[in-house]
Amino acid sequence: MDGSASYLYEKNTAQRIYEYNPDGKILILLRHPVRRAFSHYQMLLREGVLVDDFEKIIDVDYYNGCSMNDSHCLIKMGEYFGQVKNYYDLFGNNVLVLTFSDLLNSKEQLIKEVTEFISINYSELEIKNEKSNAAALPKNKLSRLMLGTNSLRYIIQKALPKSFRVFIKNKYLLEKSSMKLQEEKIVQLYNKYFKSDSEKLFELINRRSWNEVNDI
């Protein structure tokens, strides 16, 4: 079993998986595209990659196109229709599409659905309730500089064990994020960038997975 957020977006991945195993089972977990973009943006802030305002960044991505090598793809990675269709076209009924609300609202039911899909006995699983990758941001300009300087990060990674790096990062460099998008702004961004693509996705998967504001 393998997984990555980039597998859905990168164009040739579905074909490469199919060539490796045409009978493979594909699990796709989708999130409201504006909220996904904002979470992605916060991750880039946390890593010191970005300093600009969220709306400025997504406007740049929208009008300048997207390449995983030279932009952040906040818009394109949330245009799910074509990405999901690539997997449907190759794997057919061996694709299961789930949403972020499925995970939040009924984790146990989601796990049962997934285990049935991939033919694993649910009763034999040991399920842990753990939360990781919580939203956090650099505490100050020095933290942002340290997190965003690639050469410094490389030296630290080589010099210090991971457990100690994580402790220092969480204790001294990061703080819990209080950034939020107002609902009116979410609606505005959704209608501008994602509504048309989302409607095509809902028809493809035969399910409305979110409204203008939230996963449903």
Q: Report residue 117 as tokens.
A: 């899909």
The per-residue pLDDT for range 55-80, each reduced to its tens digit, is 888 887 776 666 555 557 888 899 99
Helix axes of 80-91 and 195-205: crossing angle, nearest 10 degrees: 20
The pLDDT, as a whole number, for residue 173 is: 60
Domain boundaries, the chain: 6-133+180-205, 136-176
The pLDDT, as a whole number, for residue 1 is: 60
Q: Among 3.40.50.300, 1.10.3720.10, 3.40.640.10, 3.50.7.10, what is the CATH number of 6-133+180-205?
A: 3.40.50.300
Q: Which residues contact 213 (CB under 8 A, 6 or more apart)?
A: 32, 183, 186, 187, 190
E-assigned strand segments in 66-189: 95-99, 136-138, 174-176
The per-residue pLDDT for range 76-124, each reduced to its tens digit, is 899 999 999 999 999 999 999 999 888 888 778 888 889 999 888 877 6
83: burial class by Cβ within 10 Å (0-12, 13-18, 19+)? buried
The per-residue pLDDT for range 135-158, each reduced to its tens digit, is 565 656 655 555 555 565 556 666
* C-alpha closest to that of 143 among 171, 122, 114: 171
* C-alpha closest to that of 99 among 213, 212, 211, 209: 209
The model scores a pTM over 0.85 = no
The pLDDT, as a whole number, for residue 102 is: 86
The per-residue pLDDT for range 30-57, each reduced to its tens digit, is 999 999 999 888 888 777 666 678 888 8
The per-residue pLDDT for range 156-179, each reduced to its tens digit, is 666 667 776 666 666 656 666 557
Contact (Cβ atoms closer than 8 angstroms) between residue 49 and residue 57: no
* C-alpha closest to that of 35 among 179, 165, 176: 179
